[in-house]
Amino acid sequence: MPRKVVLHCIPSFGGGGAERQLSFLAPAMAAKGWEVHVAHLHGGSNLKSLEGTSVVLHRLPSVGNYDPVIVLRIARLIREVQPAVVQTWLQQMTILGGFGLVRSGIPAILSERCNSFSYTSWWRRGLCRRLGKGFSAVVANSDDGLSFWRGVNDSPLNRVIPNIVPFERLESAVPARVEGMDSGEFRELILFAGRYDPQKNVMRLLSAIVSVVRKRPQACAILCGEGPQLDELVAVRDAAGMRGRVALLGYSEKLWSLMKRATLFVSVSLYEGCPNTVMEAAACGCPLVVSDIPSHRERLDDDSALFVSPFSESEISAGIERCLDTREEVGRRVESARKRAEELSTESVVNRYLELYEILLQRN
């Protein structure tokens, strides 16, 4: 019987959803008796969740994101660790890990965390699809993500496994005190968390939030995240005279506490994989205003969230105001959303991954 050893390959442990998911999954897999190794190129805010655990971390030095030496280092690590299963995360590791797996004969899983819209570079798209043919299985966190691989990799083991909502950690979070926003002057807190980039539609969201806050003296907003649009967001916020009422924070370790303090959570992404922060907000009992896109509809319905067009600033603003004004209606949606989030517990999701690993062990 092969040893129960898995090697995960991920570019970094920055503040993204895939990095966060692996920081939940890896220790939980180790607790189930698997020897878990993680290869990564860079650190990041999610790395500390793995430090001090039984997960074995391997930092691979490189001089660039696509340094060919990384392929050799992954191949060498595979020979040293001798994993029963390798799992790659994000496009960069689909490519580098895919080359590193050549001739290894080890079952490999490709983690698809988004959908076709995320493949904006033609050469990365082409390489991922070409290398993806050789993976033993594709695991996507949404139906939309898995559909990208149909006709390219049609393994009977392909499946959708949603993201974890870590209820056991969420329960310990207490509502946050927000400096400057807990004096009673601001009773309505609008919260967003996600990467500051075009996918998250954060520029349009900020404009909508400014419009709402101008009309509501007791409203304020906090946006948590990192990304290339930060400077532009700061400029727009400051030009609107909203420095004291709209906070632009970095990655926040107190996000769950903010969710428990917030009046509503808003996400108007143009596309998603499995919306991590949305489902975590649902688990925290925070009302939801979300874009009407397939990935949100896959996890939520009209009884659990208020849907708005991501392309209409006025509709986003109106949705936020409706959520702030209709407390009884919102309360019903909160309860329904929480029940949906409960289906994504750590135990449930980890067991689905390990079931796939066991199948691969038996076939190898």
279 & 135 share domain? no
256 & 232 share domain? yes
Q: Which token pair is 180?
A: 């400057």
311 & 173 share domain? yes
242 & 304 share domain? yes
88 & 182 share domain? no
334 & 353 share domain? no
Rounded to two decimals, the pTM is 0.82
| Among 20, 142, 5, CA closest to 84 | 5
- Calculate the dihedral angle through the C-alpha atoms of 241, 257, 269, 23, rounding to the nearest 10 degrees: 130
pLDDT at residue 274, as a whole number: 79
Q: Structural domain of residue 49, as residue ranges?
A: 5-164+345-363
pLDDT at residue 262, as a whole number: 95
- Calculate the dihedral angle through the C-alpha atoms of 280, 292, 204, 237, rounding to the nearest 10 degrees: -30
pLDDT per residue, tens digit, the chain (364 aa), is 578 999 999 999 987 788 989 999 999 999 999 999 999 999 888 898 898 899 999 999 988 888 889 999 999 999 999 999 999 999 899 999 888 887 788 999 999 987 666 766 787 888 888 998 999 999 999 888 899 899 999 999 999 999 999 888 888 888 887 766 655 566 899 999 998 999 999 999 999 999 999 999 999 999 999 899 999 999 999 999 999 899 998 888 899 999 999 999 999 999 887 788 999 999 999 999 999 999 899 999 999 999 999 999 999 999 999 999 987 788 899 999 999 998 889 999 999 999 999 999 988 7
306 & 355 share domain? no
14 & 117 share domain? yes
pLDDT at residue 284, as a whole number: 95
65 & 179 share domain? no
308 contacts 249 by C-beta, under 8 angstroms: no
290 & 256 share domain? yes
In the chain, how many domains are there?
2
pLDDT at residue 16, as a whole number: 78
160 & 172 share domain? no
| φ/ψ of residue 6, rounded to 5 | -125, 140
261 & 182 share domain? yes
- CATH at residue 120: 3.40.50.2000
Strands (E), the chain: 5-10, 35-40, 56-59, 85-89, 108-112, 137-140, 159-160, 188-193, 219-224, 246-249, 264-267, 288-291, 306-308
